[in-house]
Amino acid sequence: MISLQNITKTYAMGEVAVHALRGVSLTIEPGEFVAIMGPSGSGKSTLLHILGLLDVPDEGSYRLLGHEVAHLSDNNLAALRNSTIGFVFQHFNLLARTSAAENAVLPMIYSPDGKRKNMDKARKLLTEIGLGDRLEHHPNELSGGQQQRVAIARALIHDPRIIMADEPTGNLDSASADEIIEILNDLNRRGITVVMVTHESDVAAHARRTIRMRDGVIQSDTLNGALSATGAVKPGAPAPAGARPTVTQSDPVIAARSGYLLSEIPHDFKQAWRALMANKVRTALSMLGIMIGVTAVIAMLAIGTGARQSIEAQLASMGSNLLILRSGARHTGGVALEAGAVTRFTPQDIIDIRAAVPSIKRIGGIVNGRGQAVYGNKNWNTRIGGVEPVYAQMRASEPTAGRFFTDDEVNKRARVAVLGQTLVRELFGDANPLGEYIKINKVNFLVIGILPEKGATSWNDQDNMILIPLTTAMYRLLGKDYLDTVDIEIVLAEAIPSAQEDIKALITRTHRLPPSQTGSFEIRNMAEMQAMLTETSRTMAFLLASIAAVSLLVGGIGIMNIMLVSVTERTREIGIRKAVGARRRDILAQFLTEALVVSITGGAIGILLGWLISMLVSALAGWPVAVTASSIILAVGFSAVIGIIFGLWPAQKASRLNPIEALRYE
């Protein structure tokens, strides 16, 4: 079963080389019970660790089950430990925050063939060794002998061929020691090979064979006599008839599995939660950084998204594919004359433009002014707009109640009005204004419609206005014989540049403007303004999110810190897991899971706080906010990425620990 040839192992203790093994050769047959003895520093523990694949020799050959294993990869060594070897340690090496049953079933989690945890088998084994009433007890609730029995159950859970026992009775009283030895003898009688390190002669006497070591070499290798008291067979006798089948050299070396099993995920999350709850304050402080970062991201994006949606709504109210033709001003001697001093537009210009530019969809003139609106004992100064019926479609101003005026009413210079929401609130309160008469600059107007609410900025309230027919405004109210602006809607956005040039050439020609007076009118492209404002709002939202992301980075550093501390504190646990078959990938996954638990839990709390803060800001400041699914996904995803990135280094550090060095860590 085991064959060692010229095995050497040297440790570096600072600048001093310690030769733990010096050319050790040894053969162990299936079904043997071997005791290895020697004083401290003799190399007996090092020999056991190499036999148990916890350590690798510097030189020499180690054949296990007929295959060379001295220089296998870490993953293959882990697979062999898991499938072939069971460990019983002097210090028990049980997971502190785990029940007896879960400790016993631990090797099955890392089984190379992907077996699921078999808790029934673990409970059965514990019951057979007298721990049926201690299945859910943690190690600190068990005596030394009970803990060692749990360790034996853990060693047997995956039906090993070899039991490696390192001072299994060293920390036990005599009664418990006798019980453990009897269990080992019983296992040996069933055909399991037992290799035990001990410094006690009376314990070694229970073995069939005793190997004594000194200064890294085998000093003696002797067979013990028959032990009728314990039932051990005589030296050299064959294994009992009921023993397990022995291993032949044709048995293949079990290869390490290549993937990460989904069945390990619940275990990793459960262990992660237990480890984090063991240090609640430290865990909470680490979550705090992620929580603040996610809160900031959610709140900032909510405010930024709300502001962008508000801007987009206001831009939509300006119309799409819209050109605005307005009078400019002439500069004479460094002095700018008033707008329209050179060029003033008339309804005839609208006719000419419509005829000359085929890409026009709608066109309408506008005159502007201000006036005092009066209803009953209330009055309000407001903006007056004289427009044509096409204004409603071009500027997204279809009334929410009532109607817009018609072409016939424009031709008749009718005294009808459509009111903005601000004017409705100030003059009518909760009353219905439709069908009522108001005075505008002492002229009676019938209210026929209410405009949709478009919002306000600090400098412009789009809802504080009255729209009346263009001709009524020009000839009955404002006394203008010209247009202030002309709205021109183009069919397609791609046609806007050419239409703009055609209109410019037409106005220059029809108004006979010299080249020196090209500034006497201007054409504003509202599509360009919309794109510019939209891009600006996106940039601001990105900047806000970037500032919030800094908080997440700080939280990530906190996660890295707690994980590094956790790796140091749990070095022995890492050694235990590797001893029962955990690969580097398994350890890496476990500690990354802990980092994810911290970041995702902190992120979930941060989402809730971010939403609450956003709603509070909206209520107190009146700012529009919008918590979107994309912002939540971004925050959670970013926090998870932060957890993975900053948890990766500590996890890799844990996964690279040498199992025997980890087990020795204090």
Burial of 417 (0-12, 13-18, 19+ CB in 10 A): buried
* Whole-number pLDDT of residue 114: 47
Token pair in block for residue 95: 């997971």
Q: Which of 551, 569, 6 lies closest to 288 in space, CA to CA?
A: 551
* Whole-number pLDDT of residue 231: 39
* Whole-number pLDDT of residue 234: 40
pLDDT in tens, 446-468: 999 999 987 765 467 888 999 99
Mean of pLDDT values over 295-312? 72
Size of the chain, expressed as the number of residues it contains: 666
Identify which has the larger pLDDT, 283 or 88: 88
Q: How far apart, in Å, do the first and last CA atoms of the chain sit? A: 34
Residues 6+ positions from 232 with CB-CB distance below 8 Å: 33, 185, 188, 189, 206, 207, 208, 226
Q: How far apart are CA 496 and CA 5, in angstroms?
A: 89
* Whole-number pLDDT of residue 237: 40
pLDDT band (50, 70, 90) for residue 175: confident
* Whole-number pLDDT of residue 436: 94
Residues 6+ positions from 187 with CB-CB distance below 8 Å: 156, 163, 194
Q: Are 319 and 394 in contact (CB under 8 A)?
A: yes
Give the CA radius of gyration of the chain: 43
Q: Are 32 and 193 in contact (CB under 8 A)?
A: yes
Cβ-based neighbour number of residue 284 at 10 Å: 14
Q: How far apart are CA 207 and CA 222, in angstroms?
A: 11
Most confident of 185-189, 402-406, 536-540: 402-406
Lowest-confidence region among 67-71, 351-355, 384-388, 641-645: 641-645
Q: Are 611 and 627 in contact (CB under 8 A)?
A: yes
Q: How far apart are CA 76 and CA 74, in angstroms?
A: 6
Cβ-based neighbour number of residue 125 at 10 Å: 22
Identify which has the larger pLDDT, 203 or 277: 203
Model confidence at 512: pLDDT above 50 = yes
In our burial notation (b when 16+ CB lie closer than 10 A, e otherwise), range 366-390 reads bbbbebebbbeeeebebbbbbbbbb
Model confidence at 527: pLDDT above 70 = no
The H or E element that residue 451 is part of is none
Q: What does pLDDT average to over the chain?
A: 80
Spacing of C-alpha 474 from chain mean position: 63
Q: Are 45 and 20 in contact (CB under 8 A)?
A: no
Token pair in block for residue 592: 């990354």
Phi, psi of 443 (to 5 degrees): -110, 130
Q: Which of 27, 62, 79 lies closest to 582 in space, CA to CA?
A: 79
Mean of pLDDT values over 359-369? 92
Identity (one letter) of the amino acid at 279?
Answer: N
Q: How far apart are CA 591 and CA 593, in angstroms?
A: 5
Phi, psi of 367 (to 5 degrees): -120, 145
Identify which has the larger pLDDT, 534 or 262: 534
pLDDT in tens, 546-573: 776 676 677 777 777 777 777 777 788 8
Model confidence at 393: pLDDT above 80 = yes
Q: How far apart are CA 268 and CA 654, in angstroms?
A: 15
* Whole-number pLDDT of residue 303: 74
Mean of pLDDT values over 149-178? 86
- Give the torsion sign (CA, 364, 369, 370, 374): negative
Specify which residues 33 forms β-bridges with.
194
pLDDT in tens, 315-355: 555 556 788 888 865 544 444 555 444 578 989 999 999 99
Model confidence at 660: pLDDT above 80 = no
Model confidence at 248: pLDDT above 60 = no
Cβ-based neighbour number of residue 479 at 10 Å: 10
β-pair type (85-88, 162-166)? parallel
Token pair in block for residue 334: 């460094």
Most confident of 232-241, 486-495, 567-576: 486-495
% of residues, the chain, pLDDT over 70 = 82
Specify which residues 466 forms β-bridges with.
384, 419
**CA–CA distances in Å: residue 439 to residues 371, 381, 446, 466, 604:** 10, 12, 9, 11, 57
Q: Which of 223, 228, 176, 167 lies closest to 195 in space, CA to CA?
A: 167
Q: What's the CA dihedral at 385, 386, 392, 394 to 10 degrees?
A: -90
Token pair in block for residue 558: 């906190």
Q: How far apart are CA 82 and CA 489, in angstroms?
A: 77
Model confidence at 260: pLDDT above 70 = no
pLDDT in tens, 610-629: 888 888 877 776 666 777 77
Identify which has the larger pLDDT, 275 or 147: 147
HSE (side-chain half, CA atoms, 13 Å) at 547: 10
* Whole-number pLDDT of residue 659: 80
Identity (one letter) of the amino acid at 470?
Answer: L
pLDDT band (50, 70, 90) for residue 112: low
**CA–CA distances in Å: residue 626 to residues 43, 615, 623:** 69, 9, 10
Q: How far apart are CA 436 and CA 434, in angstroms?
A: 5
Identify which has the larger pLDDT, 177 or 535: 177
* Whole-number pLDDT of residue 238: 40
Cα–Cα–Cα angle for 411, 414, 418, rounded to 5 degrees: 115
Mean of pLDDT values over 512-524? 74
Q: How far apart are CA 396 and CA 375, in angstroms?
A: 27
pLDDT band (50, 70, 90) for residue 240: very low
Q: Which of 334, 472, 451, 346 lies closest to 395 in space, CA to CA?
A: 451
pLDDT band (50, 70, 90) for residue 529: low
Mean of pLDDT values over 234-242? 39
Identity (one letter) of the amino acid at 189?
Answer: R
Cβ-based neighbour number of residue 275 at 10 Å: 22
% of residues, the chain, pLDDT over 90 = 23
